[in-house]
A = this chain, B = another copy of it.
Amino acid sequence: MALVVQKYGGTSMGTIERIRNVAKRVAKTYDAGNDMVVVVSAMSGETNKLVALANEVCEFPDNREYDVLVASGEQVSIALLAMCLKAMGYKAKSYHGWQVPIVTDSSYSKARIEKIEDENIRGDLKDGTIVIVAGFQGVDKGGSITTLGRGGSDTSAVALAAALKADVCEIYTDVDGVYTTDPNICSDACKIDKISYDEMLELASLGAKVLQIRSVEFAKKYNVDIHVRSSFNDNQGTMVTKEDKDMEAVLVSGIAYDKNEAKIAVMHVPDKPGIAAKLLSPLSDANISVDMIVQNVSEDGFTDFTFTVTKADFKKALNITKEAAKEINASNVTADENISKISVVGVGMRSHAGVATKMFQSLAQEGINIQMISTSEIKVSVVVDAKYTELAVRVLHDVFGLAGTAAKAE
């Protein structure tokens, strides 16, 4: 008898009919003799509705109350799924984050899981009960509700799988798995059968949207195998797992893009030690994550300093940066929301040179200007004008022969 953790996203939970299908799928795995923990997201569209209400109140709603508000969506789904299963004659019980409890720190909207107490759930599992847990949410030490950020239900599922030492963590979504790039942009994008945690981390953080980045970090840390698959069919999906030899044979595994960032540039900054810290520490104090950072070579003792943040944090970050720029006598702050980040990812890069060069050449041939560059061991990212997103993705998918590569890997 295995312990299976399954996670269903908002689309899979979008209507009562779909929730009933989820219940059938859960029941099938349970009937096969497995213990079951099911993590669910809010019904699709619900979280957006709640966020719209908050924004109707004011531009920057209170952080604690924002989490109280948006966590209500998952409360609805856990109850409905438990009802469905009980109506089908199964033992089932819903859990809020605080009922598990899933203990987090107090960084509202971006809380990190610190501890999962598993006695309550284990008791129910022993009793043959199907345990249904609200994804995306937890509770801090003061008893306030916290949320884990968009896509946080993935992290809830992986963290529960780690805490309960589950045999597998299945993440159900509305696509068949992880693709070499967005199939909406490249019709010849291929499903990847197996991908390493590190590659998935790069793809996730770069906007592949299939898994929340933190869930992959968690999975890597605790060695949880994640099976990403569709809730609308029985196809084998993508296994996210430890790196192995086969993976290294592939130079590039995928092309990711992210339209959800914005660029802030501080011009004519006096080039003195400590300037970067002075600009960035007010942002981290406000719990805003900065993604790419570029500082140009100094000219006449002055330099330009550019970075990107998510669009959600953009307005707040811009205000903070303008204040910080004044204090260090920087001449001007410019901003651009109209950008896109394009990335080429693959563990094979470690042992093969020339990926970056090939990428830059291909983009130049299409007349696409590169605004920022950032690299890691297994990825190269560039920022370009948002209007080139689709063109850039298609060109790179083609240049790195991904339709072919993925097909060969199968």
Contact = CB atoms under 8 A, between A and B. Distances in A.
Given A86-B62, A143-B99, A57 B80 contact: yes
* Number of this chain's copies in the complex: 2
Given A72-B72, A98-B98, A143-B99, A79 B65 contact: yes
A54 interface: yes
Interface in A64-102: 64-66, 68-69, 71-73, 75-76, 78-80, 82-84, 86-87, 93-94, 96, 98-99
A93 B75 contact: no
Contacts of A410: none
A373 interface: no
Q: How large is the interface on A (under 10, 10 to 19, 20 to 34, 35 or more residues)?
A: 35 or more
A61 interface: yes
A78 B87 contact: no
Given A68-B75, A72-B75, A76-B69, A16 B53 contact: yes
A69 B79 contact: yes
A277 interface: no
A136 to B, nearest CB: 14
A95 to B, nearest CB: 9
Contact of A87 (B61, B64, B72, B143): B61
A56 B76 CA distance: 13
A58 interface: yes
Contacts of A84: 57-58
A50 interface: yes
Contacts of A62: 82-83, 86-87
A69 B65 CA distance: 20
Contacts of A58: 83-84, 87
B68 A78 contact: yes
A215 B93 CA distance: 30
A133 to B, nearest CB: 12
Nearest to A76: B72
A303 to B, nearest CB: 39
B66 A83 contact: yes
A374 B129 CA distance: 47
A98 B139 CA distance: 12
**Nearest 4 Cβ contacts at the A-B interface:** A69-B79, A68-B79, A58-B87, A72-B75
